[in-house]
Amino acid sequence: MTPPIAPRRRVLARLRDRIVASDPAFSRLRLASRAVLSMTLIGLLLTAITFVHPLPIAAYGIATIIGFLGSLAIRDVTVRDQIVSRALAGLAGCASIFVAGLLAAYPFTADIVFLVVIFAAVAIRRFGPRGFAAGMIAFIAFFMGDYLHPAANQIGWIALAAFLGLAITQIVSSVILVDDPERDFRRATTTIDRRINLVLRELRRASRAGTVDRTNRRYLQGHLARLHAIMLMAEGFIPQEDGGALAGHGPASELAVALFDLQLSVERLVAASMRALPPEDLLVAALYRDSPGLAKTAEGLRGAPEGNRVATCQVLLRTAHARDHLAAKLAEDPLPAFAKRTDRPGTTSAGGNGTPAGGSGENGKTPWIPERWHLPIQVTLASALAMAGGVLISSTRWYWAVIAAFIVFNNTRSRADTAVRALERSAGTLAGVIAGTIIATLLHGSIAVSIGGIMACFFFGFYFLQTSYGVMIFFITIALALLYGLMGLFTPELLVLRLEETVLGALSGVFCAFLVFPKRATAGVTVALEGYLTTLGEALDAIHARAHGKDAGADILAPSRTLDRKLADLATAARPLGGPWNVVTRYGQVREKLLVLTGCTHWVRALARGISHGRTLSADELAEFDRLVVDVRERISAARERKDRFFLKPPRSKPAVPARTPRRELAINEDESPIQALEIIAALLERAMSGPKRANFPTEEPAPHSSLARPAEGS
């Protein structure tokens, strides 16, 4: 019996919603398409050349490497810089494959030189994405040359293939599939609009039932989590000041503030609805942008007695207004914020660097070896171990172990992060071996289907590159199984050998990460937490100055917007603390503290918005405001003093902090009370310091902090 249509549609709608939410601007889709299209065009062009003159296999290899790595790793802003980066990467690749070919007759020397190449490839990452791309291509090109043994008379054809690969990749990136930040921003705001509709629909279902049950709460938290991630992405497309600062003044600032207002309004709407749901007809009017209906409701609320239901209606009206305000900004074409700069902000520091964040801290200080050499030494030693062990397993496939040892250090911040990456790679390879064996067996002899499957697997692998390393490895392993099938080399034993070599390489990486210049996860967390607390203090200082009538021209919203990104950095740094070996004992504790800081970030936004609207405080209110500011600063200082133990269990002997007077039942008005917002921030910081079992803070803070979604993983 087939399931009912409605549940089936809801499942499909949720699936589509997750896909769209994970890539609202289609940037991952474009990245994967760019890499696959480059590889396809390169393959077709080289095949056509083969009809005129046979090309060495190494020529196909170097061109393919340049095709996908040139698409994924080179993220320069201008076309000129892109060409320079690709040219340097191409030269590094050609030189590497040529040297490897010359040393093919001297295996021991070739292995030593390979380790030198590995050291250099990691060392030049400190020059940013350009160095990372050149190093990666040089690394892969060397083992390819060591395996394929290109002759000296083939270097001209290899160089030609590399040049064609560079040219095609540049054309695809700058002509066919171009980055357009304004277009991406508009796509992101479209997804934001849909996400808000999902929030309104969920509130409508709750309003029909008359209560917000556990299911409604779970869906609302999920919608807010994705909305928060999309908001950060959308703001990232807005042109920034030199140095990567968020927009401060002018059209870019106005656009960022419009996003800021909308996010805060939606968060407060969900929080207010936990106390009193708005009427269904008002939710329908907001959902379908019924301006007359909303205006009628607003008129009816004038003079209405204050209460939670009325307050929720006011917040809903404010959300609708913020939504319309952003829509009015988007009606301008082109957007003034993007008029002067058409590059995506921040791409010059795009990911892929792989250099661990944070200072050396307490992690294996070695004064006679500068810290910039720690990672190159780690990776080189891990690769040497993998090489030695890999040769014992297979004298021809040992490079799989070296690749695993080299790659597990990419984009890691600590030894625990490296261990997580190694586990993901091993698990993805295991799953890929199982699936690849089945698929390659079923498709044996079907050349066209196998080629299509290879391209599809590469596409999905590149698509998940930025979100799930294990899934990427899964698809790449299947693609290799199909490729071996086309070459007539496929056997299940070959894939098992790949798994063995991969696990060996991953273990070598973990071994060196823990024993050679170990970088504890808490070091990266300490740096990220310091950044968060510093930004929190700056936001508080700016708000305090504005409350006293100082710095009237300063943008007090900018620090509170920056706080969002600092929280995302902290969530990323804290991820290894909740790794597989700490799931039972620590994951809930880490997650809870991140939730508390999420609530703190929300109330800083609310406080900044209320003060920026010019809300004046009476003398008594200002005195209480000053006292609370001092209180919050003390709590920030206390958090900074134990930042290296922030996510660990709090000391039991810490004296209790006197509880504050419980607040009255809240009626959420047009602007949040600054006094109330500061009280909640102080209470949340106390909770973060004290842990879940302490109750020395007001337990009546409103739903916002509890209904706010947790930070997205890896954001």
Is 294 a domain residue?
A: yes
Residues 228 and 315 in one domain: yes
Is 349 a domain residue?
A: no
Segment 12-41, tens digit of pLDDT: 666 666 666 677 888 888 989 999 999 999
* CA dihedral sign, ordered 595, 596, 599, 605: negative
Residues 557 and 658 in one domain: yes
Is 347 a domain residue?
A: no
At 669, the pLDDT band (50, 70, 90 cuts) reads very low
Segment 272-326, tens digit of pLDDT: 888 888 888 888 888 888 888 888 777 776 665 667 778 888 888 888 888 998 8
Residues 514 and 525 in one domain: no
Residue 480 to residues 65, 450, 451, 467, 513: CA-CA distances in angstroms? Answer: 14, 11, 11, 21, 28
Angle at 204 between CA 202 and CA 206, to 5 degrees: 75
Is 227 a domain residue?
A: yes
At 681, the pLDDT band (50, 70, 90 cuts) reads confident
Distance, CA of 594 to CA of 525 (rounded, Å) = 12
Does residue 16 or residue 80 have the better pLDDT? 80
Is 357 a domain residue?
A: no
Average pLDDT, the chain: 79
Residues 165 and 51 in one domain: yes
Q: What is residue 679's predicted lDDT score, i.e. its pLDDT?
A: 84
Q: Residue ranges of the alpha helices (H) in 210-307? A: 214-237, 250-273, 280-287, 291-301
Query: Are 470 and 424 contacting, i.e. CB atoms less than 8 angstroms apart?
Result: yes
Residues 460 and 503 in one domain: yes
Tell which of 134, 160, 179 closes a domain: 179
Tell which of 519, 548, 577 closes a domain: 519
Q: What is residue 34's predicted lDDT score, i.e. its pLDDT?
A: 92
Which helix (DSSP H) or strand (DSSP E) does residue 248 occupy? none
Residues 35 and 160 in one domain: yes
Residues 325 and 412 in one domain: no
Residues 130 and 167 in one domain: yes
Residues 172 and 274 in one domain: no
Q: What is residue 379's predicted lDDT score, i.e. its pLDDT?
A: 94
Segment 534-581, tens digit of pLDDT: 999 888 888 888 888 776 666 677 787 788 888 888 887 777 665 443
Residues 188 and 231 in one domain: yes
Does residue 62 or residue 242 have the better pLDDT? 62
Residues 540 and 584 in one domain: yes
Segment 404-443, tens digit of pLDDT: 999 998 878 778 778 888 888 889 999 999 999 999 888 8
At 367, the pLDDT band (50, 70, 90 cuts) reads low
At 705, the pLDDT band (50, 70, 90 cuts) reads very low
Q: Find, among 123, 137, 128, the residue nearest to 69 by Cα.
A: 137
Mean per-residue pLDDT for 458-480? 89
Residues 375 and 327 in one domain: no
Is 148 a domain residue?
A: yes
Is 345 a domain residue?
A: no
**Tokens describing residue 614:** 């010019």
* Residue 552 structural domain: 521-707
Tell which of 484, 519, 554 closes a domain: 519
Q: Find, among 76, 62, 81, the residue nearest to 163 by Cα.
A: 62
At 694, the pLDDT band (50, 70, 90 cuts) reads very low
Is 249 a domain residue?
A: no
- Structural domain count, the chain: 4
pLDDT of residue 600 exceeding 60: yes
What's the whole-model pTM score? Answer: 0.75
